[in-house]
Chain A
Amino acid sequence: MSLAALAARLRARELSPREAVEDYLARIEARRELNAYVTVRAEEALAEAEGPQSAPLHGAPVAVKDVIDVAGTPMTAASAILRDNVAERDAEVVARLRRAGAILLGTLNLHEFAFGALTTSPHFGPARNPWAPDRVCGGSSGGSGAAAAAGLAAGTLGTDTAGSIRIPACLCGVTGLRPTTGLVPTRGVFPVAWTFDTVGPVARSAEDCALLLDAIAGTRTDLAGGVEGLRVGVVEALLARARPEVAAAAEAAIAELGRLGARVERAEVPLLEEAGTIQQLQMLPEAANAHLRFLRTRLAEYGPDVRARLLAGLLLPPTAYVSGRRLRRRYRAGVDGVFERFDLLAAPAMPVVAPRIGEETVELGGEAVPYRLALIPFNSPWSLAGLPAASLPCGFVDGLPAGLALVGRRYADAVVLRAAHAYQRATDWHARRPA
């Protein structure tokens, strides 16, 4: 059941918050093999379900990625270093969820310290894709994707620095929104890179994402109006980079937007190829700085991939960071120029479907490409410019979900969600669920 439908039933008293919490706890227990959760707050959630509930969520059970503080609950970041850390108070987004009537079921698995795209923590184990448990969920918010897809929470929050909401949303066949950078407060969220970090929803539909975004951002998203007259720019350079079957699914979705009234044209984004490198130049040093105390004292406790990335940030020349900032401004100016012609950009959300756990490369254009490097060009261009970007299900390839990316102007998150909602009213890819 969608978050919107569940909230409506709770509001109508057709279901009590306690019944809803018990139902989700039973689902979580039944799907433990997915390893979507790090901590389940069973007793606390049941107790919270007995209290007064507020609108608009009326006691709907949700869960958040385990880098987001929930008072009195472990916040491990799926790391050995923070294994025994317990949050003293709620992150601002959790406080806002509670004020909106949500009940916190627990915290969700992720790539260690939200610094990778697999969710295969060496300390807490891999989250498994509900569509094929031998495959990854993507990351870093992989537990959020798995929980949303398998119905282990009515809605979830993830974080996105360079794709960490969009990647698992795509690979798990659910809807995710990286909000405009700065729209949602990050206080009480363990940082990856401060100038890129965002918190956003991962849920079953754009409508559910809008409910969650409004709760945590204080926005009032209007989903009415469709896409009639919206100018959609197709980023053909990304279509060309994707696996052909995945590109075809995205092209079919874009054609559907055209049938719904959008004006679809080809778009070229300046420095698109360079966006990944430009983001790395700033993201890596910021991450190294955020981790400096642990790098000095507990280096061996990181997983090898995260340790290597943090050390790369530590050892980049200082001028690289400044060059990155200068290049970022230039890049953003170019993207702003593109959005003088378009209301939205559209592209495949990811170039591939979920790889198997343990696979380090994916096949693109007949070559084996490192998984992480294959994903960067589909994510960094929008993170680097601070743009709202959604991933929504648009088909299946080899029985696994493929996704469409919709990207809007800064602070036009509502336009992105409105277009996604219009697409989801006309199609049913988002309604399909794993067995």
Chain B
Amino acid sequence: MEPESSLDDLRRLAAAQGVAPSDDDLEAVRGFLDAILPELARLERLLEPEDEP
């Protein structure tokens, strides 16, 4: 998922899991994802193949 998640993408993903958030809810989630996904990408670069879950 790219950092700039569209509300429609998020709505479809929620609907696929049986959840129907409002636009305000999705805006809040998008703000969170836009902050955490670049940080996740940075952290994933620290991982080595031998780092198992």
Contacts and interface: CB of A to CB of B under 8 A. Distances in A.
Interface residues of A, number: 26
A315 B36 contact: no
A311 B23 CA distance: 12
Question: Dominant SS at the B interface?
Answer: helix
Nearest to B28: A308
A288 to B, nearest CB: 9
Contacts of B39: 274, 277
B17 A292 contact: yes
Q: How many interface residues does chain B have, given as a range?
A: 20 to 34
Contact of A296 (B5, B18, B28, B32): B18
A278 interface: yes
Question: Dominant SS at the A interface?
Answer: helix
A15 interface: no
Contacts of B43: 274, 277-278, 323, 327
A280 B39 CA distance: 11
B51 interface: yes
Given A292-B17, A314-B19, 16 more contacts: A277-B36, A277-B39, A277-B40, A277-B43, A295-B18, A296-B19, A307-B21, A308-B29, A314-B17, A315-B5, A316-B33, A323-B40, A326-B51, A326-B52, A329-B52, A329-B53
22 contacts: A274-B39, A277-B43, A278-B43, A281-B36, A292-B17, A295-B18, A295-B19, A296-B17, A299-B20, A307-B25, A308-B32, A311-B25, A311-B26, A312-B28, A315-B10, A315-B14, A320-B40, A322-B53, A323-B43, A326-B52, A327-B47, A330-B46
In the complex, the 8 A-B pairs of residues with the closest C-beta atoms, listed nearest first: A325-B53, A308-B28, A296-B18, A326-B51, A312-B32, A295-B19, A311-B29, A317-B1
Interface of A: 274, 277-278, 280-281, 292, 295-296, 299, 304, 307-308, 311-312, 314-317, 320, 322-323, 325-327, 329-330
